[in-house]
Amino acid sequence: MEYRKIKGEAEDRDAVVEDVENLRGKPLSISDNLATIGESRIDRAKWKRKSVVTLALTVLTSSQAILIVWSKRAGKYEYSVTTANFLVETLKCAISLIVLGKIWRTEGVTDDNRLTTTLDEVIVYPIPAALYLVKNLLQYYIFAYVDAPGYQILKNLNIISTGILYRIILKKRLSEIQWAAFILLCAGCTTAQLNTNSDRVLQTPFQGWVMAIVMALLSGFAGVYTEAIMKKRPSRNINVQNFWLYIFGMAFNAVAILIQDFDAVMNKGFFHGYSLITVLMILNHALSGIAVSMVMKYADNIVKVYSTSVAMLLTAVVSVFLFGFHLSLAFFLGTIVVSVAIYLHSAGKMQR
Amino acid sequence: MEYRKIKGEAEDRDAVVEDVENLRGKPLSISDNLATIGESRIDRAKWKRKSVVTLALTVLTSSQAILIVWSKRAGKYEYSVTTANFLVETLKCAISLIVLGKIWRTEGVTDDNRLTTTLDEVIVYPIPAALYLVKNLLQYYIFAYVDAPGYQILKNLNIISTGILYRIILKKRLSEIQWAAFILLCAGCTTAQLNTNSDRVLQTPFQGWVMAIVMALLSGFAGVYTEAIMKKRPSRNINVQNFWLYIFGMAFNAVAILIQDFDAVMNKGFFHGYSLITVLMILNHALSGIAVSMVMKYADNIVKVYSTSVAMLLTAVVSVFLFGFHLSLAFFLGTIVVSVAIYLHSAGKMQR
């Protein structure tokens, strides 16, 4: 549903672009003025689309976390996680193809929306999936050094690594105020997650820190690389880009099934232990995945980090009502810091 | 010692002002240029003086907190606090008079440094002391609703109340970035003080919150009012202003001795229970008090709040080495937030 709504936005934008083309045909004396109006309309449409995809990502990420809490409360994972991941990738692929089919019917097949591609274009698509695979493998080893709540706290290093790699690889600049905001976002998120056992993370051995930093860099690199892929060909239809991204995701997850859960799948079946909540989680993950792609194409990694941070806070607030969770003073303080960070990020926009 | 050093700065500034007077006599063609150089030298001298008094306040406040920890470790308070407070005011008064005497000898008695005053000038001086008295009386009652660590956390409301009253009463403006920084300062200080029992403060009853807010307003008002007094007559010698401020402090504390500790003083003597550490604390409080006055005259309440916040963090770090204290993750996060707040306060300076 969210996805179709966003799609509608994208169509709105095309309409605006056409309007501008029409305006350009007018006499020269007023064309400058009209072009400005046109540009501001494009800007507004772009801003609107950026806002909608960001909102969608926030809501989906937040409900994703709520589903995880819900499923944990309902009992242990009975299904094999690798099959679920494979289905998420398959579903994303299928959605991309369905939307693409509709576009072909209305617009015809063009250079920008054809599925066939060159080796030069496709060669980069497996890289993000490969990076995530390495990161997920490392995840098993880090628990030798850090406990699960400690790992949650160390994961906030992702925020900093994303910012640094965004600067280095995409060569995009943040103003000093925006850097300050980014540091605050990291500190605020960590503060919001503090609990009585958090101090244990300070006793993390050196190897644990190194692994946490390597994982943060891998995760940040995968995100930044995805953005680079999506933006390298701005006119290329996002559904084609998604298709190629997700087809490699499917392939990597198929390998993961073979390595980790081959016996379970053979003996108990592919869908063993699936419940309504498992289906909801797969659906949610697929939609969030598409929302992430859209944020990468129409916004950027910085927006993604802010969006998922807000989702984390939102999850906690919703959990108070759903599961009777208790909010700590640290949570309130972290929320204040994150809110100020969001304000500063927009207030600190560089003058271009 | 600190005080004399600061005094030296003030003399430097006077020298700079004289230089500028000389420059003004030069031919018109280059006088603009030279006046600018002169102004920038005054600015630099002012900035230097502001920095020195701020640094002095930070170091004194920090060592004050360390002395308190030290004295608590050494055992309970054996002396009567009212007599110590009275001696602090007396010492401040004496220091002001001694410095004033020196100034009279070198500069002669002028309108700005004569001790005699008009009713119109002196009438406002008892007000800050009276406000602090009311606040200290309330302090006894708030412990019916909040425990001591909870009160430490609620005291951070002072930061916000000072900012608001500074804006309303002194009509000085902060930029939006500076307001954001001020909110961060409050959140960061509170985060740094978090411990396992901090969440109890969320259970503070309504009356407790009201009292905490009233106390924060009283404390903020006293600070802002002192700044208003000090700055109303910019050319008036600070030592005269201090003398009048402290003489009323002596009077109020004399009343406090009569009310609270009359019997103890009569039976055990004025100086009963005094130790080396008591003497050091009195000395430190007197010097800090003078540093506060100087910050009020040469800087402002905002600088004071930042300075005392940094002192709080400094105290914790020094306590690690002195008393083997343990720093929490919350402390690190709070320190990061406070550091960013300080950066933003200076980065967010309004263009005038």
Q: Are B294 and B171 in contact (CB under 8 A)?
A: no
Burial (CB count <10 Å: 0-12, 13-18, 19+), residue B241? buried
pLDDT band at A2 (very low <50, low <70, confident <90, very high): very low
Mean pLDDT of A322-346: 94
Q: Which residues of chain B lie closer than 8 angstroms to A348, CB-CB? A: 177
Q: Over 70: is that where the pLDDT of A113 sits?
A: yes
Residue tagged 């050093």 (tokens): B5
Using CA atoms, how far apart are residues A352 and B28, in angstroms rounded to an integer?
41
Q: Are B63 and B284 in contact (CB under 8 A)?
A: yes
Q: Name the residue in chain B with its Cα closest to that of A195.
A: B196
Q: How many pairs of residues across A and B have Cβ atoms under 8 Å apart? A: 76
Mean pLDDT of B321-350: 92
Q: How far is B264 from chain A (nearest CA, A)?
A: 42
Q: Which residues of chain B lie closer than 8 angstroms to A199, CB-CB? A: 328-329
CB-based contact A177 B347, cutoff 8 Å: yes
Residues 6+ apart with CB under 8 A from B9: B45, B48, B49, B52, B53
Burial (CB count <10 Å: 0-12, 13-18, 19+), residue B230? buried
pLDDT band at B133 (very low <50, low <70, confident <90, very high): confident
Cα dist from A115 to A8, A36, A244, A296, whole Å: 21, 36, 9, 20
Per-residue pLDDT tens digits for B238-274: 999 999 999 999 999 898 888 888 888 899 989 888 8
Per-residue pLDDT tens digits for B149-194: 888 889 999 999 999 999 999 999 899 999 999 999 999 999 999 9
Q: Name the residue in chain A with its Cα closest to that of B341.
A: A180
Q: Name the residue in chain B with its Cα closest to that of A200.
A: B329
Facing residue for B343 by CB, picked from A180, A191, A347: A180
Measure CA B36 to chain center: 33
Residues 6+ apart with CB under 8 A from A97: A239, A243
Q: What ipTM was predicted for this assembly?
A: 0.82
pLDDT number for residue B244: 94
Q: How far is B328 from chain A (nearest CA, A)?
A: 6
pLDDT number for residue B12: 40
Q: Which residues of chain A lie closer than 8 angstroms to B187, CB-CB? A: 333, 336-337, 340
Q: How far is A325 from chain B (nearest CA, A)?
A: 14
B116: its two tokens: 């005699």
Task: For residue A349, give the DSSP letter.
Answer: P
Using CA atoms, how far apart are residues B103 and A196, in angstroms rounded to an integer?
57
CB-based contact A333 B177, cutoff 8 Å: no
Q: Count CB neighbours of A76 within 10 A.
A: 7
Closest CA to B192 of B101, B319, B5: B319
B217/B137: higher pLDDT: B217
pLDDT number for residue A215: 92
Most confident of A197-201, B1-5, B291-295: B291-295
Task: Please report which helix (H) or strand (E) contains residue A176, including its range.
Answer: helix A176-192
Q: Over 50: is that where the pLDDT of B10 sits?
A: no
pLDDT number for residue A59: 93
Share of chain B above pLDDT 70, in %: 87
pLDDT number for residue B143: 81
Mean pLDDT of B216-232: 94
CB-based contact A199 B329, cutoff 8 Å: yes
**DSSP assignment of A191-219, as one string?**
HHT--TTGGGGGG--HHHHHHHHHHHHHH
Cα dist from B342 to B153, B180, B185, whole Å: 20, 11, 8
pLDDT number for residue A35: 62
3-state secondary structure chain B: CHHHHHHHHHHHHHHHHHHHHHHHCCCHHHHHHHHHHHHHHHHHHHHHHHHHHHHHHHHHHHHHHHHHHHHHHHCCCCCCHHHHHHHHHHHHHHHHHHHHHHHHHHHCCCCCCCCCCCHHHHCCCHHHHHHHHHHHHHHHHHCCCCCHHHHHHHCCHHHHHHHHHHHHHCCCCCCHHHHHHHHHHHHHHHHHCCCCCHHHHHHCCHHHHHHHHHHHHHHHHHHHHHHHHHHHCCCCCHHHHHHHHHHHHHHHHHHHHHHHCHHHHHHHCCCCCCCHHHHHHHHHHHHHHHHHHHHHHHCCHHHHHHHHHHHHHHHHHHHHHHHCCCCCHHHHHHHHHHHHHHHHHHHCCCCC
Return the amino acid letter for A214.
V
B8: its two tokens: 């030296």
Q: What are the contacts of A226-234 at 24+ separation with CB within 8 A?
A: A226/A128, A226/A292, A226/A293, A226/A296, A227/A166, A227/A170, A227/A296, A227/A300, A227/A301, A228/A169, A228/A170, A229/A124, A229/A125, A229/A127, A229/A128, A230/A293, A230/A296, A230/A297, A231/A296, A231/A297, A233/A121
Using CA atoms, how far apart are residues B253 and B247, in angstroms rounded to an integer?
10
**What integer best gives the mean pLDDT of chain A?**
85
pLDDT number for residue A213: 94
pLDDT number for residue A34: 60
pLDDT number for residue B37: 67
Say what the alpha-carbon torsion angle A212, A218, A223, A226 is, to the nearest 10 degrees.
-170
Q: Are A115 and A252 in contact (CB under 8 A)?
A: no
CB-based contact B180 A153, cutoff 8 Å: no
Q: Are A146 and A154 in contact (CB under 8 A)?
A: yes
B52: its two tokens: 């020195």
Query: Helix or strand or coil: residue A125?
Result: coil
pLDDT band at A76 (very low <50, low <70, confident <90, very high): low
Most confident of A203-217, B131-145, B333-347: B333-347
Q: Which residues of chain B lie closer than 8 angstroms to A337, CB-CB? A: 184, 187-188, 191, 337
Using CA atoms, how far apart are residues B154 and B145, in angstroms rounded to an integer?
12
Q: Which residues of chain B lie closer than 8 angstroms to A196, CB-CB? A: 196
Q: Which residues of chain A lie closer than 8 angstroms to B183, CB-CB? A: 336, 340
Q: Name the residue in chain A with its Cα closest to that of B327.
A: A199
Closest CA to B309 of B345, B277, B274, B273: B345
CB-based contact B333 A196, cutoff 8 Å: no
Q: Name the residue in chain A with its Cα closest to that of B178.
A: A344
**What integer best gives the mean pLDDT of chain B?**
85
pLDDT band at A146 (very low <50, low <70, confident <90, very high): confident
Q: Over 60: is that where the pLDDT of B283 sits?
A: yes
**DSSP assignment of A275-326, as one string?**
-HHHHHHHHHHHHHHHHHHHHHHHS-HHHHHHHHHHHHHHHHHHHHHHH---
Burial (CB count <10 Å: 0-12, 13-18, 19+), residue A72? exposed
Q: Over 70: is that where the pLDDT of B216 sits?
A: yes
Query: Helix or strand or coil: residue A271?
Result: coil
Q: Which residues of chain A lie closer than 8 angstroms to B336, CB-CB? A: 183, 187
Mean pLDDT of B67-74: 76
Measure CA A31 to chain center: 40
A89: its two tokens: 């990738």
Per-residue pLDDT tens digits for B21-43: 333 344 444 555 566 667 788 88
Using CA atoms, how far apart are residues B10 and B107, in angstroms rounded to an integer?
14
Burial (CB count <10 Å: 0-12, 13-18, 19+), residue A206? exposed
pLDDT band at B76 (very low <50, low <70, confident <90, very high): low
Closest CA to B319 of B12, B69, B77: B69
Return the amino acid letter for B338.
V
Share of chain A above pLDDT 90, in %: 53
Return the amino acid letter for B161.
S
Q: Which residues of chain B lie closer than 8 angstroms to A334, CB-CB? A: 191
Closest CA to A250 of A134, A114, A84, A120: A84
Residues 6+ apart with CB under 8 A from B337: A184, A187, A188, A191, A337, B184, B187, B188, B191
Facing residue for A194 by CB, picked from B194, B202, B343: B194
pLDDT number for residue B21: 36
Mean pLDDT of A30-56: 79
Facing residue for B177 by CB, picked from A177, A183, A187: A177
Q: Over 60: is that where the pLDDT of A10 sits?
A: no
pLDDT number for residue A96: 96
Q: Count CB neighbours of A90 within 10 A.
A: 18
Closest CA to A337 of B16, B110, B272, B333: B333
CB-based contact A176 B201, cutoff 8 Å: no
